[in-house]
Structure 1
Amino acid sequence: MSIQVLMPALSPTMTEGKLAKWHVKVGDVVKSGQVLCEIETDKATMEVEAVDEGTVAKILIEEGAEGVAVNTPICLLAGEGESAEDAAKAAPAAAAAASPKAEPPAPAASSAPATPAASSVATEPEWKGKTVHITVREALRDAMAEEMRKDGKVFLMGEEVAQYQGAYKISQGLLEEFGDKRVIDTPITEHGFAGLGVGAAFGGLKPIVEFMTFNFAMQAMDQIINSAAKTHYMSGGQMTCPIVFRGPNGAASRVAAQHSQCYASWYAHVPGLRVVAPWSAADAKGLLKAAIRDPNPVIFLENEILYGQSFDVPEDPDFVLPIGKAKVERVGKDVTIVAFSIMVGKALQAAEELAKQGIDAEVINLRSLRPFDTETIVASVKKTNRLVSVEEGWPFAGIGSELAAIVMEHAFDWLDAPVKRVAGLDVPLPYAANLEKMALPQSSNIVEAARAVCNR
């Protein structure tokens, strides 16, 4: 497999530079760590080293070229078992695919994303043709199966995903179709198999790592945050980590404090990660397919209670939803209600009750928690002049806090009332059913918050 060497960044704010000098030529055999070239800006000079062994197949950017964008392929190395001629033939297509869409490493300012690689999914397609009514569980399975058929580099690993077909039966039929080389049961060691997945992603594969619950993924935080999320930035854009970490997140039903946490804001806080939280079966399928295709590590937060709920999903096998784009589930004019995951359903229930009281609520399904669809949120608030955020997790430093900050920064002059947050109570989730219900947001809480911002 040919290896692209990308234009690295000398600093977090660098967007382009000059390729000052080549130290190798076509046909040279290079070793890992060998200096390939020198790049420079008006402030500094840096040597670019090979991260893999190979043969220089083609120089894509000539010596002396200025204004070379960060993440632009600058040369191509032929990998083991590949001739330089074959690798060179693939160079134009490879360069065209990678260069225009790649984003530079993020500036140090907290408002910018941290070194995401370019995503191939751009806009949400219209729903055309037939739909099928399936559960979220089936939608997730179909998404993985379709991507595994399409790309031999995609594989699934996790506890009980193969022989048992998944703790929640998400991987039904996958072992039979793809075999035990691509559907892999792991030992009970989240830190261990998450690390295996990250290493596989560094090696060019596309792992889907299933956690039985994201509560157990706390054992793998080091692998997710320090290895998966940071390597693209720390390698100057030369290494990506195309991996999906997926599994149920948040409260289920009476599984108590240690198995009921919502990790949405935890992961959304980390530069280098993409974080999505689907609600419907269409969300689940379209976003999981996008996550598998994305060159960045993606945290895919599912919800156990939603697994058995059914929705309409387009039959089109190319149905993919863009990461970073919210969906307006209900159009309204009086108040904007923003929610994600299971809370979207509760927000829609609240909107129906509010309509009976003369309040027309607009409901936005965030879908993506990092990056946020700031444009859709701000446009809605400028129309309704009010915002209620809804999340299952704790309120302190939550997703609602970030939404409030975004609206304050971008739509403050349009607000007719302070932003209201609806969230889980700031306590470990109780085991008792009556206390659990009291600790989690209900549609009645959303109605109350919406009435408050509407002065009703």
Structure 2
Amino acid sequence: MARMTMIEAIRSALDVSMGRDDNVVVYGEDVGYFGGVFRCTHGLQQKYGVNRCFDAPISELGIVGTAIGMAAYGLRPCVEIQFADYMYPAYDQIVSEAARLRYRSAGDFTCPMVIRMPTGGGIFGGQTHSQSPEALFTHVSGLKTVVPSNPRDAKGLLISAIEDPDPVIFLEPKRLYNGPFDGHHDRPVTPWSKHELGEVEEGHYTIPLGKAAIRREGSAVTIVTYGTMVHVAQAAVEETGIDAEIIDLRTLLPLDLDAIVASVSKTGRCIVLHEATLTSGFGAELAALVQQHCFYHLEAPIMRVTGWDTPYPHAQEWDYFPGPARLGRALRDIMEAR
């Protein structure tokens, strides 16, 4: 075991994958010589050469389009979109080509590619560097969508994504890159209030896509969440003392519905927590599934705690985030509901 930040764990996953399979190639804006704006690819070009880790022009459409061609040819590209906010020029390629290639070719071609994207806020990046667009991908058949919450999961899930035969959207919460922030604060003490390293296995290991993790067992209420909000949920539960069960989805699609149903059937209450906006967020799908599969077990209405329905508010960034105070109010309210 080694102690790593999420950045180091992602770099380790790429290193392990490139070392095991010569078909794995890594590229994107500034990921080669410079090692990426967040340094996730630092040292890979020096180790594997410019043919396997290289810089791309500032063209997200071009990055994803060429990766689809490489994947169809037999390579396994893992490309980086520098911020998830930049993916919109490439969205047509992702939806119309990558997601559909297996089906439109009747299985003659597959698209084993990964698109890595830093997602979410918390680094004072403003409206064009802080979005959480996961619902735009979970709506698309043929894509898999992954959001890790800690370094160990980030490495194991990324290796699984690279080895998967179909396209995977890999969203990396920027607030967790250098260690979990102090989830007990609704305001940052510093940009990174607490630097905690995760215990990560060295070498090759995988975490299966589509398998959630129970981060805390409880009997009173189920909190279904992912990414950065896992740490907010843990802080809110500690502060309120409510015996909540916390489910870290890890993979949004494929979704571990069995884990959700088992937990809500036990607790009878459910809160869905995510950073993205409320309306049409992925939490709406989760709430609908809980209602469909757990209706006769529910003792209170399903609640959603999310970001605001506004364009990303730079000046009010830490008010926009669901923090432990907002989640704590929801926890108390759902426990009083009948």
Residue 315 of structure 1 is matched in structure 2 by 201
- From 294, 316, 322, the equivalent of 2:164 is 294
1:254 Cα deviation from its structure 2 partner: 2.3
Equivalent-residue separation in structure 1 for 2:230 and 2:257 (angstroms): 18
Secondary structure at the aligned position of 1:362 is classed as strand
1:252 Cα deviation from its structure 2 partner: 3.4
1:156-171 paired onto structure 2 within 5 Å: 156-171=26-41
Q: Deviations over 1:96-146 (max 9, x none)?
A: xxxxxxxxxxxxxxxxxxxxxxxxxxxxxxxxxxx2211000000000000
Q: Deviations over 1:172-195 (max 9, x none)?
A: 110111000000101101111211
Residue 249 of structure 2 is matched in structure 1 by 366
Q: Kindly provide the amino acid, as one letter, of the partner of residue 185 in structure 1.
A: D
Residue 442 of structure 1 is matched in structure 2 by 323
1:246 aligned to 2:132? no
1:250 Cα deviation from its structure 2 partner: 1.6
Q: Kindly provide the amino acid, as one letter, of the partner of residue 448 in structure 1.
A: R
1:316 Cα deviation from its structure 2 partner: 4.5
1:192 aligned to 2:62? yes
1:438 Cα deviation from its structure 2 partner: 1.3
Secondary structure at the aligned position of 2:128 is classed as helix
Q: Kindly provide the amino acid, as one letter, of the partner of residue 4 in structure 2.
A: I
Equivalent-residue separation in structure 2 for 1:305 and 1:314 (angstroms): 19
Secondary structure at the aligned position of 1:329 is classed as strand
Secondary structure at the aligned position of 1:170 is classed as coil
Equivalent-residue separation in structure 2 for 1:315 and 1:255 (angstroms): 32
1:257 Cα deviation from its structure 2 partner: 1.9
Q: Which has the larger radius of gyration?
A: 1
Gaps of 5+ in 1: 1-130
1:314 Cα deviation from its structure 2 partner: 3.7
Q: Which has the higher helix share?
A: 2
Given that 1:248 and 1:304 are in contact with CA atoms closer than 8 Å, whether structure 2 keeps it comes out as yes
Residue 175 of structure 2 is matched in structure 1 by 305
Residue 9 of structure 1 is matched in structure 2 by none
Question: What is the Cα-based RMSD across aligned positions, in Å?
Answer: 1.1
Q: Kindly provide the amino acid, as one letter, of the partner of residue 167 in structure 1.
A: V
Residue 404 of structure 1 is matched in structure 2 by 287
Equivalent-residue separation in structure 1 for 2:113 and 2:142 (angstroms): 12
TM-score where L is the length of structure 1? 0.69
Residue 270 of structure 2 is matched in structure 1 by 387
Secondary structure at the aligned position of 1:259 is classed as coil
Equivalent-residue separation in structure 1 for 2:303 and 2:124 (angstroms): 28
TM-score where L is the length of structure 2? 0.93
Gaps of 5+ in 2: 180-195
Given that 2:145 and 2:168 are in contact with CA atoms closer than 8 Å, whether structure 1 keeps it comes out as yes
Residue 334 of structure 2 is matched in structure 1 by 453
1:317 Cα deviation from its structure 2 partner: 2.1
1:351 Cα deviation from its structure 2 partner: 1.2
1:152 Cα deviation from its structure 2 partner: 0.5
Given that 2:151 and 2:200 are in contact with CA atoms closer than 8 Å, whether structure 1 keeps it comes out as no
Q: Deviations over 1:58-102 (max 9, x none)?
A: xxxxxxxxxxxxxxxxxxxxxxxxxxxxxxxxxxxxxxxxxxxxx
Q: Kindly provide the amino acid, as one letter, of the partner of residue 239 in structure 2.
A: E
Question: Which fold has the larger relative contact order, with Cα–Cα distance below 8 Å and residues 6 or more apart in sequence?
Answer: 2
